[in-house]
Structure 1
């Protein structure tokens, strides 16, 4: 699958290590239905609210990593990444909230699904307990997959029709502007890989693969309207 941005050597090692986990999301029925516009709006609403909850943890992980790095440019990049997760993507969620009937209070009062909570805990725990490289590998699959997925769908469709029910989502993640974000992320991934020993690199690749698995599980929790067992 063609990448819209340069993939440095260690990032390629991670993607290769993840094997089919990385590409599995592209063929998930939720993604396919989202792309062709047939996805039930109730499932998309469920997904959007859970995604907003997830992005709070993604922001936390980036903020934690900002306290670990010493390079001021890297520190600022992680702080900006934490902010972007809440502000830029948050605008998309609240935009759909107007048509799908939810708001910031709805998001705050919603409990994460089991799959979502597990993914959040994986990212935050890795950022806290692991090396900078391991924390980077735990957060990298989410933006990487979304950018490649959005631009893959755009190539497949040729263009996004204005009347597509999920045009805003498809347009956002197919935006070439995200390529610069990914280039910056993967450049830092390579930088900290070059500073790491082989054991840390191996743990980082495992963290990357686990996040790829959680990405597929995130689509699955939305597709199945996952909930906790009755208490």
Structure 2
């Protein structure tokens, strides 16, 4: 699957966000066809693979929250500061509820999550976000964090359309329902509006680097499915 047509998106995609998406279209579409995603949608995904994914994802979201917090310190407008602070909180609080719920089903605790070793792919993705938030311009920093929520919202809504009603017996019903929740559309409108505004305030070189930061994060999103699918370990 390639990127969804704009007409199917229930949130606005401004010009710069669209340009970022076009720059990363192949990698974006690849996530929709990854065997982890397809098995998750079908309900056939091995529970151990999902457990591995959930635990690594919980640690990834800590870094996502760190990146949002760093971005908040760089914003001039108070409402932008507050929005990114809230985005950091959302990543930790709301997502933690999902991880804790699956922890009860799959046999892990938040303490277990804190003790895991990050996979190479997970660590690299985190380092990319944090480094861009610290060393990049504001538009680059926001571009680097945007693919995570955008891809998950679009993927969740795509799967909801594909599957129709999600039965309570589906082993990953909570995950599918969370990311297809229309409340995320407002989140995306707010995030993409800020990305567009920061792009307008930047120069051509910064906008080019921002597109590359976005594309890199989209590639890491695919790699995140892959690290869970193969339950990646350090080779040495």
Give the structure-2-normalised TM-score. Answer: 0.96
1:138 to 131, 144, 153: 144
Q: Kindly provide the CA deviation profile for residues 75-105 of structure 1, in whole angstroms up to 9, marking residues without a partner as x.
A: 0000000010000001000000001000110
Q: Distance in 2 between matches of 1:59 and 1:23?
A: 25
Q: Which residue of 2 aligns with 1:116?
A: 122
Distance in 1 (CA, whole Å) between partners of 2:10 and 2:218 is 19
1:182 and 2:192 matched: no
Aligned to 1:82: 88
Q: Report 1:1-231 matches (<5 A).
A: 1=4, 2-230=8-236
Local SS of the residue matching 2:190: helix
Count of aligned pairs = 230
- Measure, in 2, the Cα distance between the counterparts of 1:143 and 1:214: 13
Q: CA offset at residue 19 of structure 1?
A: 2.4
Aligned partners of 1:202 and 1:182: how far apart in 2?
22
For residue 94 of structure 1, give the secondary structure of its aligned residue in structure 2: helix
Unaligned ranges ≥5, structure 1: none
1: CA distance between counterparts of 2:171 and 2:25? 32
Cα distance between partner residues in 1 of 2:215 and 2:203: 19
> What value does the CA root-mean-square deviation take over the aligned residues?
0.6
Which contiguous aligned blocks of 4+ residues in structure 1 show a shift greater than 6 angstroms?
none
Unaligned runs of 5+ in 2: none
CA distance in 2, matches of 1:55, 1:131: 22
CA contact (8 A) 1:4 1:148 kept: no
TM-score (ref. length: structure 1): 0.99
Deviation at 1:24, TM superposition (A): 1.1
